[in-house]
Amino acid sequence: MKNLFLSAAIVLGSLTSFASTTQVTNTIVKTISVEDEYTEIKLEELPAAISEALKKAYPDAVITKAYKNEKSEYKLDVTVGDKVGNLFANADGTWIKK
């Protein structure tokens, strides 16, 4: 009888070690640095098409800084009321999602 209980204990003990699982998580982080590509320009150098597109889309927006990259894409630091944000546009005033 002792052997039966001992055998059952060993079998159940070995099964629990196989039943344990290890949680594996793979985390992939993709970082895109947008600011490194842009150089600051004067607000006067900003194309009129972008200024007009901004007035049309956001009438109360104020451009605080403007940047340009090698592809002639523009990054605008914009303030609307108490909110601050960035907008991206092509030279013809078309908005770019980034």
Q: Tokens 């594996």, residue?
A: 24
Reported as a single tens digit per residue, the pLDDT across 73-88 is: 999 999 998 999 999 9
Please tell me the CATH code under which domain 39-96 is placed: 3.10.450
Reported as a single tens digit per residue, the pLDDT across 44-72 is: 999 999 999 999 999 999 999 999 999 99
CB 81 within 8 A of CB 58: no
CB 55 within 8 A of CB 69: no
> Number of helices (H) and strands (E), helices first, in the chain?
2, 5
Read off the pLDDT of each residue in 25-50 and give the average, rounded to a whole number.
79
Q: How would residue 5 be classed by pLDDT, with cut points 50, 70 and 90? A: low
